[in-house]
Amino acid sequence: MTRNSRTSRSSNVALGALFLISSSLAWGQNEAAEKDIALIQTYIKQRISAGQDLAKKRTDWKFEKEILQATKQTLQGEVAQIQEQIEQAKKDEQTADTDTKELAKEDVALTKAAETIESALGPLEDRLVKMVVQFPPYLKKNLGADLELLNNKSKRESEGIATRITTVTNILTEAEKANSEIVTVHEERDVNGKTQSVRTVYFGLAMAYSSTEDESVGWIGTPGPTGWTFEENASEAKAIAKVVAIANDEADVSFVPVTAKIID
């Protein structure tokens, strides 16, 4: 038997008692009895209301209890997940600490390597500055910005080591390439007091021949401490012109006796 059924039965008994009492009093029309009946009615109503409130509270508590249990399970799951994340974070922190120490060691090693490279780079750049003076004009033009940076000591020293190494590497690479090639270019040279366009053939970085278009004047060029020097050689003008023509694929390859100057 449930508490609600007991409450209902008690209510029925009380109502029955109230009916009997009311009936008996009706016969006697006793004023005092009517007051007692009113009190009893009030008491019964209060008991019924209290029973109903208690039943409602029990139902509400059961519902709230289920919600609380579900919330508890959810929170327990979240707590477990957070604890797992904390443990993973500790492991990650340990790994990061190890990585940081390794990176610190590598940084020290790289710093020492950079200092070693920089100590050797300065003298190499200074030697290269003296060398590029003897580069042919066309090669200097091709090197452009790299050569400009090399020749500006204050600017190049303000650059990072990577930029300086790249500059030196580019210059040496182009110089090595030029030294293994035969290059023909158009240049301007003084001819009898007038500037005239000539064709020049550079044999690597060692020597060169120049000739006017009409083959009337020829020059032999050699590099020196201040740059290239071209000496006019009137007696070999035709031979020099033929060398230039062969280099430009304008004549068949053949043996041409011509003076050669090699500067150590």
Which tens digit of pLDDT belongs to each residue from 53-75? 666 666 655 656 666 666 667 76
pLDDT score of 244 more than 90: yes
Q: What is the mean pLDDT of residues 236-242?
A: 94
Q: Which amino acid is at 28?
A: G
Q: What is the pTM of this model?
A: 0.57
Taking a C-beta distance cutoff of 8 angstroms, is the pair 223, 263 a contact?
yes
**Distances in whole angstroms, Cα of residue 83 to Cα of each of 21, 74, 228, 235, 253:** 70, 14, 78, 97, 86
**Terminal CA-to-CA distance of the chain, rounded, Å?**
124
pLDDT score of 32 more than 90: no
- What are the tens digits of pLDDT across the range 104-157? 767 666 666 667 777 788 898 999 999 999 999 999 999 999 999 999 999 988
**How much is the pLDDT for 169?**
93
**How much is the pLDDT for 86?**
79
CB atoms within 10 A of CB 201: 21
Query: Between β-strands 207-212 and 218-224, what pairing exists: parallel, antiparallel or unpaired?
Result: antiparallel
Percent of the chain with pLDDT over 90: 40
pLDDT score of 93 more than 90: no
**Distances in whole angstroms, Cα of residue 98 to Cα of each of 92, 94, 239:** 10, 6, 74
Give the residue from 248, 180, 175 showing the smallest Cα distance to 209.
248
- Across the chain, mean pLDDT equals 79
Highest mean pLDDT among 17-21, 79-83, 106-110, 257-261: 257-261
Q: How far apart are CA 145 and CA 150, in angstroms?
A: 9
Structure tokens at 20: 């009997």
Taking a C-beta distance cutoff of 8 angstroms, is the pair 33, 21 a contact?
yes
**Distances in whole angstroms, Cα of residue 158 to Cα of each of 15, 151, 164, 169, 172:** 107, 13, 9, 18, 21
- Token look-up 């109230």 returns 18
Taking a C-beta distance cutoff of 8 angstroms, is the pair 186, 143 a contact?
no
- What are the tens digits of pLDDT across the range 184-206? 999 999 888 889 999 999 999 99
At residue 134, φ and ψ (nearest 5 deg) are -90, 5
